[in-house]
Amino acid sequence: MSLDKATVARIAALARIRVPEEDLDGLAEELSNILGWIEQLNAVDTADVPPMSQASEQKLRWRADEVTDGGIPEKVLANAPAAKDGYFTVPKVIE
């Protein structure tokens, strides 16, 4: 799989990472090389093989649906780059 500039720009937009126009060609080549190397997996027959999503076979545990934490707004906001009146603040979203 060889990625073109437009595809790299689309991936970057999906990943919310700004990539300057002049870096797109180099990145397209790097990512294409990595994907080309990854495609050796196509040689493996995986018919009827279930996917593995966790390294341990245990089942996820259940617990009672109840509040176990909270009431610490100062701690939650302590690391915010910008906060006001108990809220995180962001640049204006709606004009």
Contact indicator for 28, 8 with CB cutoff of 8 Å: yes
Q: Which string of x and - marks every residue 20-59 that binds another protein (by CB under 8 A)?
A: -------x--xx-xxx-xxxxxx-x-x--xxxxxxxx-x-
CA-to-CA dists, residue 55 to 51, 52, 61, 64, 86, angstroms: 11, 8, 16, 25, 40
Confirm or reject binding of residue 6 to another protein (CB under 8 A).
Answer: no
**Pick from 17, 70, 84, 86: which binds another protein (CB under 8 A)?**
17
Confirm or reject binding of residue 67 to another protein (CB under 8 A).
Answer: no
Confirm or reject binding of residue 85 to another protein (CB under 8 A).
Answer: no
Q: Which is nearer to another protein, 25 or 30 (CB)?
A: 30
What string of H, E and C letters represents the secondary structure of 27-82? HHHHHHHHHHHHHHHHHCCCCCCCCCCCCCCCCCCCCCCCCCCCCCHHHHHCCCCC
Question: Which tokens belong to 5?
Answer: 């500039």
Residues that bind another protein (CB under 8 A): 3, 8, 11-19, 27, 30-31, 33-35, 37-42, 44, 46, 49-56, 58, 60-61, 63, 72, 75-76, 78-82, 88, 90-93
